[in-house]
Amino acid sequence: MKIAKNIFALFIVIVFLIYSACEKSPTKTNQIIGLDIDVVGVPVIYETDMTLDVDDVGALAVLHGLQTEGKVTILGVCYNEVHPLAPAVIDAINTYYNRGTIPIGIYPGNLSQPDASDYFSVSHNDDVDNMAHDLSDNSVEDAVEVYKQILASQSDSSVVVISVGFLNNLHDLLKDPEGYDLVEKKVKLLAVMGGLHGDGFNFVRHNLVNQTQYVIENWPGTLVTTHVGGSMITGESLTRTTPSNNPIRKAFELEWGVGPNNGRSSWDQVTTLYAIYGTRYYKEYWDGDGSLQNGYHWDFSEGYRGYAEPINDVQVEREIERLMTLAP
């Protein structure tokens, strides 16, 4: 009887030790790699359709320049197009700036008529996706899961989300009950690049206008749109001032045959700079309205829905160019 009691007691101890070990040492399987960082400046999640145009590349370069200056910390980059090589391109850019462990979130669904790219392709060996990078040292996961884990680790009302692409990832995040609660608690600003009335690209492409409407209707905090930058040309000095292993330079040189020493419109960079600098370089409008091509209409409201544009285009253009060419 005494032996049986001892065996039972030993069994209980073993079970307790196993349970304690599981509690104290969770597996890494469902954890996003790259979250264990010290946040300096504004914590940012960058939402991009980086494929068809190159201003998305320029905007990510702006963020890296701002991080080099201690003004932001890039917590993650989420991708709302579906090109399979895009994570490699994003990681190549992050790696160039010595930040190759930044988590990358991807849209797990399908899109109608997905976009092609001039600066990354399965048929070329010298595109940005072939530049130095290593996806094994970070996470490439479902964007909603990346958002949830990142936001859960941040202080309340601290995170800025910058969306310069489509709103499908953000739509799915809001549809997720845990995701919605985290957005409401953790995000202080959503800055969106998109036309104020009848936008014909970011808000409607790939038949995503209903997802756009859902985000604008249901985002629980401040949402500010911008749609300036078409005449603001940046990237012109990349070939002259940055090394050949710079993926930003490579992307601009390959984009639509733009070639070396030529720039491109700066819509996404304008949005990105506003998200960090606010009224330093921009005027905010809280009176007015916006509309989508499907007939949906929204009114502005102080601190809730608004619009922003540069006070001085030349000043903003110069700051974008400076940050885009800043050395790692």
Quick check: helix, strand or coil at residue 135? helix
What sign does the dihedral 201-206-210-215 (CA atoms) show?
negative
The rounded Cα 281 to chain-centroid distance in angstroms is 22
Q: What confidence tens digit (pLDDT) does each residue in 148-171 have? A: 999 999 999 999 999 999 999 999
Dihedral of the alpha carbons of 82, 104, 74, 229, in degrees to the nearest 10: -10
Mean pLDDT of 243-258: 92
Angle at 200 between CA 199 and CA 204, to 5 degrees: 90
- 6's CB contacts (< 8 A; 6+ apart) are none
Model confidence at 24: pLDDT above 60: no
Model confidence at 1: pLDDT above 90: no
What percent of the chain shows pLDDT beyond 90? 85
> What pLDDT, on a 0 to 100 scale, did the predictor assign at position 123?
79
What sign does the dihedral 68-70-72-74 (CA atoms) show?
positive
Domain ranges of the chain: 34-324
Measure the CA–CA gap between 16 and 19, rounded to whole angstroms.
Answer: 5
What sign does the dihedral 114-217-309-106 (CA atoms) show?
negative
Query: Which amino acid makes up residue 267?
Result: W
> What pLDDT, on a 0 to 100 scale, did the predictor assign at position 30?
62
Nearest to 306 by CA among 232, 213, 230, 221: 221
The owner of tokens 């595109």 is: 127
Q: Please, are residues 51 and 84 in contact by the beta-carbon 8 Å criterion?
A: no
What string of DSSP letters covers 177-232? HHHHHHHHHHEEEEEEE--SBS-SSTTTGGGTHHHHHHHHHH--S-EEEE---TT-
Q: Please, are residues 74 and 113 in contact by the beta-carbon 8 Å criterion?
A: no
Mean pLDDT of 206-229: 98
Nearest to 57 by CA among 241, 265, 231, 202: 265
> What pLDDT, on a 0 to 100 scale, did the predictor assign at position 28?
35
Residue 298, beta-bridge partner list: 290
Query: Which amino acid makes up residue 180?
Result: Y
> What pLDDT, on a 0 to 100 scale, did the predictor assign at position 39?
96
Model confidence at 69: pLDDT above 60: yes
Nearest to 167 by CA among 203, 219, 217, 196: 203
Q: What confidence tens digit (pLDDT) does each residue in 189-209 have? A: 999 999 999 999 999 999 999
Q: How far is CA 122 from each of CA 84, 273, 290, 309, rounded to the nearest angstrom?
A: 9, 32, 39, 38
Measure the CA–CA gap between 186 and 158, rounded to whole angstroms.
Answer: 6
- pTM for this one? 0.91
Could you say which architecture CATH assigns to the domain 34-324? Alpha-Beta Complex (3.90)
Measure the CA–CA gap between 77 and 44, rounded to whole angstroms.
Answer: 9
> What pLDDT, on a 0 to 100 scale, did the predictor assign at position 125?
86
Q: Please, are residues 300 and 285 in contact by the beta-carbon 8 Å criterion?
A: yes
Measure the CA–CA gap between 61 and 323, rounded to whole angstroms.
Answer: 7
